[in-house]
């Protein structure tokens, strides 16, 4: 049912999925950045998701095989995703895509890339405006690893709390010698904690998400050497939740998926609140029994999860409503 084409743009592999039936009008164009902590994952691993979206939404889906860290150093992944997006946006005619219906999407760290690309594109006045961003269990900040979801789901597969920090180090190509200190938030200067408390704090998380064994963190002392070792975690690129309101208020309508059993759940909840506070329309889907990475199993028959299917169907319904 699909025409599938592989090509390279500036050394970056793209796989483009188009429905075989002739378009009755212009189609939606969807960019998809896959998850994998920026260090693993591939176009092939997310083949089933992209095919499903292309068919169910009668859309052109561009899956981006950005080059992985640490071999391809950070922040190269963002440039790869940006270049792929620019290529697509400049060639919409060829794919019969409506410039008013471009959607930027991704899961996990791919949702982080999607968020950052949407923020970068605000400065590019010569390109079509993005219609929506679709963020599936996004990771959006490296400031606080003690949010309720980090505590509650510290040992829940597939993404343990310690593993998040380990992947951050691997992604940024750093020695994980200060891993324990980062777990305790010793990398964040007090001034920064105070400045961003209004956006990133357990106090903002709705109470119903704190019932399951959350204990407020005792304050930990700041260690300048730890900050120096891993300060990239606090850059806007890595932590798009720290972008100023003047940026956030210009962002497109958003769809956010969070999973109950996911250390990154609260990143999604905090971003949802920030967008809404800035007048951006948000559609939110919370999977009560979902866990981080659940979509990696999507379409694998007996190995797939009903919760994953529900997430995909809700996502498809959202895209079709645009």
- Within 10 A of 314 (CB to CB), how many other CB atoms are there? 17
Closest among 200, 37, 60 to 112, alpha carbons compared: 37
Distance CA 313, CA 310 (A): 5
By three-state DSSP, how is residue 131 classified?
Answer: coil
Q: Please give the structure tokens belonging to residue 151.
A: 């505590």
Q: What is the DSSP letter of 303?
A: G
Burial of 11 (0-12, 13-18, 19+ CB in 10 A): exposed
Q: How far is CA 100 from CA 89, 131, 215, in A?
A: 11, 6, 46
Closest among 8, 132, 134, 131 to 80, alpha carbons compared: 8
Q: Please give the structure tokens belonging to residue 152.
A: 């509650």
Catalytic machinery residues: 108, 262, 292
Taking each helix axis from N to C end, the angle separating 109-121 and 76-90, rounded to the nearest 10 degrees, works out to: 60
Residue 101: partners with Cβ closer than 8 Å, 6 or more residues away: 26, 27, 28, 29, 131, 322
Residue 91: partners with Cβ closer than 8 Å, 6 or more residues away: none
Taking each helix axis from N to C end, the angle separating 306-321 and 47-56, rounded to the nearest 10 degrees, works out to: 40
């Amino acid at each position: 049912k699909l025409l599938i084409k592989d090509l390279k743009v500036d050394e970056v592999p793209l796989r483009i999925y188009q429905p075989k039936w002739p378009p009755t009008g212009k189609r939606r164009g969807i960019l998809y950045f896959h998850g994998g902590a920026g260090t693993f994952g591939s176009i092939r691993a997310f083949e089933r998701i992209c095919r499903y979206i292309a068919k169910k939404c009668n859309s052109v889906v561009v899956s981006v095989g950005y080059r992985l860290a640490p071999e391809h150093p950070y922040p190269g992944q963002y440039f790869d995703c940006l270049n792929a997006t620019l290529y697509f946006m400049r060639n919409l005619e060829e794919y019969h895509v409506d410039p008013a219906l471009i959607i930027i999407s991704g899961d996990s760290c791919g949702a982080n890339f999607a968020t950052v690309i949407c923020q970068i594109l605000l400065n590019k006045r010569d390109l079509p405006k993005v219609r929506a961003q679709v963020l599936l269990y996004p990771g959006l900040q490296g400031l606080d690893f003690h949010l309720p979801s980090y505590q509650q789901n510290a040992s829940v597969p597939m993404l343990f709390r310690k593993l998040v920090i380990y992947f951050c180090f691997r992604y940024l190509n750093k020695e994980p010698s200060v891993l324990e200190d980062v777990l305790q938030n010793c990398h964040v200067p007090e001034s920064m904690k105070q400045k961003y408390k209004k956006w990133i704090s357990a106090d903002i998380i709705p109470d119903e998400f704190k019932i399951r064994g959350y204990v407020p963190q005792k304050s930990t002392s700041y260690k300048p050497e730890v900050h120096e070792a891993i300060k990239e975690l606090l850059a806007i690129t890595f932590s798009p939740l720290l972008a100023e309101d003047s940026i956030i208020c210009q962002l497109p309508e958003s769809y956010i998926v969070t999973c109950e059993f996911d250390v990154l759940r609260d990143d999604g909840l905090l971003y949802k609140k920030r967008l809404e506070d800035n007048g951006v329309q948000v559609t939110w889907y919370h999977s009560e029994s979902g866990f981080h990475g659940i979509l990696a199993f999507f379409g694998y028959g007996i190995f797939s999860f009903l919760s994953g299917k529900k997430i995909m169907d809700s996502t498809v319904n959202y895209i079709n409503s645009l």
